[in-house]
Structure 1
Amino acid sequence: MTRGFKKLDENATIPERATEHSAGYDISASETVTIQPDEIKMVSTGLAVQLGDDEVLKLYDRSSNPVKRGIALINSVGIIDSDYYPQEFKGLFMNISKEPVTISKGQRIMQGVFVKYLTTDDDNANGKRTGGFGSTGEL
């Protein structure tokens, strides 16, 4: 099993941990995007992630984003399932300030944490992913 990030775009940055005890890999934007006040925009990373069958990549906001940059990862925690590979994963950000906010290409915008998960003994999930963002159905 291979676990790791794959560049899909020449502007992508392979995520790294800042210290040997950091749980999260710093994930950067692969494009420059301006978000207007109260607007929500999807921001490209230019990356795909390969995971084990019982793993997920959780995307968390950088703690400095709301105060220093006026943006927030709007869904609180992004979940990248193992069957999302080889699709590009992105961040969904909202401008919570009163001014336009520009996210620059190469700017660190999220942290990714690899996590193993469990399923119930009577789990019967048998569906197959057919697309990218939001592709597993609606309520």
Structure 2
Amino acid sequence: MKKRGFEVITAYQDKAIHLPKRATKNAAGYDFEAAEDIVIPAIWKQIIQHFSKNSAVAEKIVKPVLVPTGIKAYMGQEEYLQLANRSSNPLKRFLTLSNGVGVIDSDYYNNADNEGHIMFQFSNFGLTDVQIKKGERIGQGVFLPFLKADNDEAVIERTGGFGSSDKQ
């Protein structure tokens, strides 16, 4: 019986994706790699390029970039996978997780929209664009239990993928 772990999503089966793994025996986090090359544009560059043309456009153009991993995670119903940035990303590359911390719920696994594809959401507050290469470590995931409040009455089933609970 499977307890918790990772699988490669169908769309990346033939792309030589590595499953997340811990770097050392006492590490809490499983290191995730980028599934493809991607550029994270500098927000300052985007603002300068677009602000002079139309300030409304500037507000919409400066948004996070989703970096695909090609990975999905399975876990127990009262667990979640917490996504965290690598400590070196802000210091050396000016990359931050736009959402602070990512939360992958157990019912995200194999959802109908994207099969549970885990992506890291980055913003680049540096002055130059950052190139992320396929196979480069981009973040880490930690499996954690969570507690429910007294009188918790949540009964709605997940019907979609990324951001689907916004519609409920």
Report TM bin, short chain: over 0.9
For the pair 1:125 / 2:157, whether they are aligned, the reply is no
Q: Which residue of 1 aligns with 2:8?
A: 7
Q: 1:77 aligns with which of 98, 101, 104?
A: 101
Q: Once the 2 structures are TM-superposed, how far is the Cα of residue 131 of structure 1 from its aligned partner? A: 0.8
Instruction: Give the distance between the partners of 1:12 and 1:55, measured in 2 at CA.
Output: 24
Q: How far, CA to CA, are the matches of 1:120 and 1:95 in structure 2?
A: 37
Deviation at 1:59, TM superposition (A): 0.2
Pairwise CA distance, 1:138: 5.0
When the two chains are superposed, the root-mean-square deviation of aligned CA atoms in Å is 1.3
Distance in 2 between residues matched to 1:94 and 1:6, nearest whole Å: 26
The count of residues paired between Structure 1 and Structure 2 equals: 139
Q: TM-score, normalised by structure 1?
A: 0.95
Asked whether the 8 Å contact 1:41–1:93 carries over to 2, the reply is yes
TM-fit CA distance, 1:70? 2.0
Unaligned runs of 5+ in 2: 44-61, 111-115
Q: Does residue 1:116 correspond to 2:140, yes or no? A: no
Report how far residue 100 of structure 1 moved. Answer: 0.8
Residue 36 of structure 1 is matched in structure 2 by: 41
Which structure dedicates a bigger proportion of its chain to strand? 1
Q: Which residue of 1 aligns with 2:52?
A: none
> CA contact under 8 A between 1:11 and 1:31: conserved in structure 2?
no
Q: Could you report, residue by residue, the CA deviation over 1:88-108 in whole angstroms, capped at 9, with x for unpaired residues? A: 010100011000111111110
Q: Between Structure 1 and Structure 2, which shows a larger proportion of helix residues? A: 2
Look up the match of 1:137.
Answer: 166
TM-score by length of 2: 0.79
Greater C-alpha radius of gyration: 2
